[in-house]
Structure 1
């Protein structure tokens, strides 16, 4: 009886199946993924540098965009390098500790992104619905507090989840039918009852996904109502243009997140989960800087000035 109470982790490594396709397709995917990864790191890094060094970008909106870029860099750097190994060898092994580390940084970066997107929606709400009080509300101190809170809350909440997962036994199959260590595939391999962890995930999904999304929906409802009350069409177009980029990013992010974690079914998890996971772990970090840069004259001007200054 005493031995049954001991939580002994037998599995020392996991085998990730990744994408079960032919060798030629995996080579094409590897090249495509390498290009996407390089562009993702480059473009997000450029945004961080531009916001840090360009005085005209020292505003709350661009501050949060740079924070979002740092979160995207962390996410893609945590997931993609291991995918290269999986694609080249058809399947890949990952040590138990490395898998938990990847899971921790993946979950933390996603949690931070949820909270940062909420902070960005609040910033746009104040800018459009309370423009006269914008400078007094969205001070530098307020922005820093919101950003630090997002990072600390994201990393702390996911840390609690990881600690709980480490109390489970992994003594049976060690094959992950995925291309990275995600919560659902890991829990499916546990020999223990994962009910407590599943309850924690559901609870934290409410805190990190549903509540922030409710705040975002409320903010944009008020924003749209305020924009529709603007008498001139030029004013309405200008006001909406300041929010459209963020609204597109929020829609893409939450659509994929809801598909994987909020409404999971076993049938869907086995057939579609990897595709949705690929979208929000690989392509969303690439799309975010493209959306913000292509639709933003301030960022394009800052980049042009920086390049022109370096050339001279």
Structure 2
């Protein structure tokens, strides 16, 4: 990739897009094209087509999406499927029609079946039923993968897809209801410490197993794929290490300084029982993550204290 190439990062204000912008700049790519939602609504086909026709970016990274945790996915499935399909359809098609050299589509590990064999290989896609709490989002992301593959097959468009595992880190969403598990726990334990609470309750049984990847590791993997990968299949991006939700809760409580008890709520959903990605394809290419979970969580809490805890 030419260091002076014009690179459009869709979703630069989000967790993923922000991390990718930082990684691109670290790698020497300074010519970044970014727009806020107020400046460009990616659900508006006419606006997206006009934007691409005017700027004709060389590379496109599609990190924009409507995202959320179990509660948000289960409560707003129509919004999750509609908005994500609209964004993907508009950006992928406009990138192709306006001569982009390459597009990277970002998905999620939730695309895989609920009871998938572990660790999850790329070829396990569409081999079983999805987790019901986030199937609307998952189906949209699967459609994005298939759209990239269809445009490669029919038009020769160099569209690739990467499927990150559960992400966290600087720029995360700490909303008390609509956030993912790590930012939700960081906020909950921080607020509990401030008020001197004796107990904190977490959703589910605490036994579900999850793999967590720091967003800056994920972003470095995306730059690596842009520079080194051009093929039909999507690529898993993870660290191949897992822990229970209770384990990560205890780790966060220790980092935050909450000394009370941690209770579980088995009446709330656990989601998928286990979700460990096989990132062997990416590892074989030569990429590896750098953050340990503890170091990554300390980095995330530092970001929360600096940028997100006003009014908590």
Shorter-chain TM-score: what band?
Answer: under 0.3
Structure with the larger helix share = 1
What's the TM-score, normalizing by structure 2? Answer: 0.24
- Name whichever structure is richer in strand by fraction: 2
Could you say which structure has the greater relative contact order, defined with CA pairs below 8 angstroms and 6 or more residues apart?
1
TM-score (norm: length of structure 1): 0.24
